[in-house]
Amino acid sequence: MILELEKNISSENKAKFLSKLFEKDVHFREISFGDRGLIHVQENGDLISLGEFSGVNEVRSSQQFKLASREFKPEDTVVDVGGVKIGGKKLVSIAGPCAVESLERTLEIAKRVQDSGAEILRGGAFKPRTSPYSFQGLQHKGIEILAEVKARTGLKIITEVIDTETIDEVAAVADIFQIGSRNMQNFSLLKKIGKTKKPVLLKRGLAATLDELLLSAEYLLSEGNPNVILCERGIRTFANHTRNTLDLSIIPTVKEVSHLPIIVDPSHGTGKRNQIYDMSLASIASGADGIIVEVHNQPSEALSDGFQAIEPSDFQKLMRDISLIANVRQRHF
């Protein structure tokens, strides 16, 4: 169970409560969530009768997820990525190649997407590939390139962290950690990333339900990282006209049950270059807080996911038109 200490709880009452937890020998830990004082008590909460303690209340949620729920936090979470806000009136546009391939190419793409209005550059250095024989990313070299491009353009950087060993290395350049679909339920990775305060984009697993996605978010939140952004990136279905089935209906549902921002990845969501424009507009029409799109200056030569990358000129058109849709939702890029 998760307990919340009232803001004005006396230090005497708090001490009394904590000593009861020690006495009962229950496993518990304090969680910092903004200015709210929370304590997670490992189930068997029935060992403690809350009635005895004033200033301590159970966090109520009709869902399994607690901290991610709108019942716990009614107002929308706005994640601040060094001044770029995700989840507010202003929508976010994230663009760039699937993988970092070279300094020249990354810089060229970065400048083009920046000119069109993207504020965050995407690009994988450590790539989780289905086949061990596929390009695994430039790894350490890729991180160095991202650092250089960041310094030269001022763009914020999102890049994937695929394991616990490389967290520090990725953190040195990333403004947002990307947790990929395949790692959505890598709980030891989630716990470690949760201990940092750095914003994190949590991509929906290939076959994850909404509850599973939000419970993974709960791992990050309950470790003390409130800066969680969700990402719909398509799920595996029987449909074979696309790589994945983009589930835009998750957006209004997330908005109903959770306070967390959600953005959409129409590149992985469809796997088809010619569907990215339509699905990007539809994402914003559906209430998403932004998009993350794969853009490459020579898609046919891309080392990964070229078939679902659009060219910089198409991205420019996309950004122009998507603003019209944003207006309908009283939002803007």
DSSP track, 16-52: HHHHHHHHHT--EEEEEETTEEEEEE-S-GGGS-GGG
* Minimum separation from the CB atom of position 151 to ligand PEP (A): 23
Regarding 98 and contact with Mn ion (CB under 5 A), the answer is: yes
* Minimum separation from the CB atom of position 235 to ligand PEP (A): 10
* CA R_g for the chain: 21
* Minimum separation from the CB atom of position 83 to ligand PEP (A): 23
Q: Which is nearer to ligand PEP, 294 or 314 (CB)?
A: 294
Please report the beta strands in 151-233, taking only residues with DSSP state E, as ranges in sequence order: 156-160, 176-179, 200-203, 228-232
* Minimum separation from the CB atom of position 305 to ligand PEP (A): 6
Measure the CA–CA gap between 102 and 105, rounded to whole angstroms.
5
Q: Which is nearer to ligand PEP, 181 or 222 (CB)?
A: 181
Q: Which residue, 272, 273, 291, 294, is CA-closest to 282?
A: 291
Size of the site for Mn ion (CB under 5 A): 2
Supply φ then ψ for residue 203, to 5 degrees. -85, 140
Q: Identify whether the C-beta of residue 99 lies closer than 8 Å to the C-beta of residue 123.
A: yes
Q: Which is nearer to ligand PEP, 24 or 236 (CB)?
A: 236
Residues contributing to the site for ligand PEP (CB under 6 A):
98, 124, 128, 180-182, 203, 233, 268
By a kind-dependent CB cut-off of 5 to 8 A, residue 331 interacts, out of Mn ion, ligand PEP, none, with none
By a kind-dependent CB cut-off of 5 to 8 A, residue 233 interacts, out of ligand PEP, Mn ion, none, with ligand PEP
* Minimum separation from the CB atom of position 267 to ligand PEP (A): 8
Roughly how many angstroms between the first and final C-alpha of the chain, as a whole number?
A: 40
User: How many other CB atoms are there within 10 angstroms of residue 216's CB atom?
Assistant: 26
Supply φ then ψ for residue 70, to 5 degrees. -70, -20
Q: Which is nearer to ligand PEP, 160 or 218 (CB)?
A: 160
Site for Mn ion in 248-307 (CB under 5 A): 305
By a kind-dependent CB cut-off of 5 to 8 A, residue 306 interacts, out of ligand PEP, Mn ion, none, with none
Q: Which is nearer to ligand PEP, 112 or 233 (CB)?
A: 233
> What secondary structure letter does DSSP report for 307?
G
Cα distances (angstroms) measured from residue 158 to each of 3, 125, 168, 271, 318: 33, 10, 14, 20, 21
Q: Which residue, 25, 173, 50, is CA-closest to 100?
A: 173
Identify which range of 90-98, 138-146, 164-172, 234-242 contacts Mn ion by CB under 5 A. 90-98
By a kind-dependent CB cut-off of 5 to 8 A, residue 203 interacts, out of ligand PEP, Mn ion, none, with ligand PEP
* Minimum separation from the CB atom of position 330 to ligand PEP (A): 29
Q: Which residue, 129, 165, 123, is CA-closest to 148?
A: 123
> What's the gap between Cα 229 and its chain centre?
3
By a kind-dependent CB cut-off of 5 to 8 A, residue 261 interacts, out of ligand PEP, Mn ion, none, with none
How many DSSP H helices and E strands does the chain contain? 10, 14
* Minimum separation from the CB atom of position 297 to ligand PEP (A): 17
Q: Which is nearer to ligand PEP, 98 or 325 (CB)?
A: 98
Q: Which is nearer to Mn ion, 127 or 156 (CB)?
A: 127
* Minimum separation from the CB atom of position 263 to Mn ion (A): 15
Give the strand order in the sheet containing 56-58.
Answer: 28-33, 36-41, 2-5, 56-58
By a kind-dependent CB cut-off of 5 to 8 A, residue 180 interacts, out of Mn ion, ligand PEP, none, with ligand PEP
Q: Which is nearer to Mn ion, 222 or 304 (CB)?
A: 304
Residues in contact with Mn ion by the rule CB under 5 A: 98, 305
